[in-house]
Amino acid sequence: MENHFPIRQILDKNGNVIAAEYKEKITEKLAKDFYRQMLRLRIFDRKAISLQRQGRIGTYAPFEGQEASQVGSAAALAGNDWMFPTYRDHGAAMSFGHSLRNVLLFWNGRNEGCIPPDGKRIFPPGIPIATQIPHAAGAAFAEKKKGTANAAIAYFGDGATSEGDFHEGLNFASVFKAPVVFFNQNNQYAISVPIEKQMNTKTIAQKSLAYGMPGIRIDGNDIFIVYFETLKALERARKGEGPSLIEAVTWRYGAHTTADDPSKYRDQSESRARRQETDPVLRLERWMQNQGIFDEKWVQAAEEEATAEIDHAVAEMEEFPPADPAAIFDHVFAEPTWQIKQQKEDYLKVIGGGRE
């Protein structure tokens, strides 16, 4: 079955275009926009890890290594589309226009972090694995019922395909031809479990066959194939032809979260080797060098611009008071049930705050 779903590429690891039909579609502007966004996200990710280590934000989920999958797919969306991210897809959310300050507030435990800018349909990050998949299918179906051209994208990792929500979401979307793209980032580890130990199928893309939808396996570190295939799937969805499943094969360099030690379950020398061989930023940089358009001064300016933007977002985030843990009880229901009230009272007694 793996032979039926080969990994498709536009750029090889040396930055050469190996799919001639895309040559005319790849412009200098597109490449530079993608490079700037990936650079911005990489700087943000490293800054967030540093903030966590300093105790300035809480536990954080890094995404370095997956920038092409997130930037390329988000770039294919239209302004009124829906995005349903996981806890590792804040790169996609920021590319789609989410506030950097609010993303940082999310990782600092404040409810404001779940609020996207006005006009942006970005769902709060899905923390329980795969729960956002049926939500995306439902939102897409609602857009279809309303007669709009809006679509949805649902992000999830390889571990999510072992959850019931994955199968229910794909089945619902298939039956009702909901305009949704199921975008899997297969970083090859479900927390600490390698993919071959959590599924028996050779690919995730082949699971599309069970639900009668197109499935494709792409190089998730090749931003051009990510962008063009996501765009194709969204166009199909808008035409009323139903959902698609995309498996973007990628790699996360770091830990599952900052509470994790990947050296306990993974040979970290592989991550070091992949930085030289398949890194998404380096690959695009090599393409730009091949085209004679790579400019060190332009890169330095882009880095400085991103750093200034991120530092400003950090300063804004730190103007907020620390999150109140008791707030988790306040919005479970419109009117708190007696159980919720009791739990909040018990919590306040434990911490000795006596707050209402």
Of 265, 272, 312, 331, which one is the catalytic site residue? 265
Name the E strands within 98-200.
121-122, 152-157, 180-186, 189-190, 193-194
How far is 352 from 325, CA to CA, in rounded Å? Answer: 13
Position 232 pLDDT exceeds 80: yes
Sheet holding 180-186, edge to edge: 7-8, 215-219, 244-249, 180-186, 152-157, 82-84, 121-122
User: Beta 193-194 vs 189-190: how paired, if at all?
Assistant: antiparallel
pLDDT in tens, 182-231: 999 999 999 899 999 999 999 999 999 999 999 999 999 999 999 999 99
pLDDT in tens, 245-269: 999 999 999 999 999 999 999 988 9
Q: Is 35 a catalytic residue?
A: no
DSSP state of 206: G
Catalytic residue among 36, 90, 256, 286: 256
pLDDT at 355 over 50: no
286 is catalytic: no
pTM of the model: 0.95
pLDDT in tens, 129-188: 999 999 999 999 999 999 999 999 999 999 999 999 999 999 999 999 999 999 999 999
Alpha-carbon distance of 347 to 329, in angstroms, equals: 10
Per-residue pLDDT band at 351 (split at 50, 70, 90): confident
DSSP 8-state secondary structure symbol assigned to residue 247? E
Task: Give residue-wise pLDDT tens across range 307-346.
Answer: 999 999 999 999 999 999 898 899 889 999 999 999 999 9
Task: Return d(Cα 186, Cα 86) in angstroms, integer.
Answer: 13
Q: Which of 219, 251, 321 is nearest to 8 (CA)?
A: 219
Rounded Cα distance, 282 and 276, in Å: 8
Q: What is the pLDDT of residue 1?
A: 66
Tell me the CA end-to-end span of the chain in Å, nearest whole number. 59
Q: Cα separation of 212 and 244, whole Å? A: 9
What pLDDT digit, counting tens, does each position of 270-311 carry?
899 999 999 999 999 999 999 999 999 999 999 999 999 999
Question: From CA 129, how far away is CA 124, in angstroms rounded?
Answer: 13
- In CATH terms, the superfamily for domain 2-321 is Thiamin diphosphate (ThDP)-binding fold, Pyr/PP domains (3.40.50.970)
Q: Could you tell me the two tokens for 112?
A: 């404001």
Measured distance CA(17)–CA(189) in Å, rounded: 29
**Please, what is the Cα angle at 229 between 203 and 12, to 5 degrees?**
75
Of 110, 236, 252, 286, which one is the catalytic site residue? 252
- Would you call 275 a catalytic residue per the annotation? no
C-alpha to C-alpha distance for 214 and 220, rounded to whole angstroms = 17
Please report the pLDDT score of residue 331 as a whole number.
Answer: 85
pLDDT in tens, 78-124: 999 999 999 999 999 999 999 999 999 999 999 999 999 999 999 99
pLDDT of residue 4: 86
User: Whole-angstrom Cα distance, residue 225 to residue 18?
Assistant: 11
**From CA 216, how far away is CA 229, in angstroms rounded?**
9
Confidence of residue 354 (pLDDT cuts 50, 70, 90): very low
